[in-house]
Amino acid sequence: MALRQPVEHVVTSPWYRAKDIMAIMEVCESKAYKIIKSLQKEIVNTKIPGTDRCYAAPPAGRIRKEYFCEKYMLDVDECDAIVAQARQSA
């Protein structure tokens, strides 16, 4: 039996996982991973302003909260509340 992560993890972690995207966007797991993969590809291909370098790839299966919410025009606090509620009911 897997241990549940505490709800505080949602607030303190800078990353969303596929299950978090599933709760926020109300999509299936495969679609959540496709969203993450697409956003990760965008990040890696984005140049850092004032340099010739690109941003580093995020960890596999995760996307930064701020980037995700900015791309989908969502509020980070509202998304965190949705994720916390989904984790409590799981």
Single-letter amino acid code for the residue at 17: R
To the nearest whole percent, how much of the chain has pLDDT over 90? 63
* Tokens (6 digits) for 67: 């980037």
To the nearest whole percent, how much of the chain has pLDDT over 70? 87
Closest CA to 67 of 26, 21, 30, 22: 21
pLDDT digits (tens, 9 = 90+) for 23-66: 999 999 999 999 999 999 999 888 888 888 888 888 999 999 99
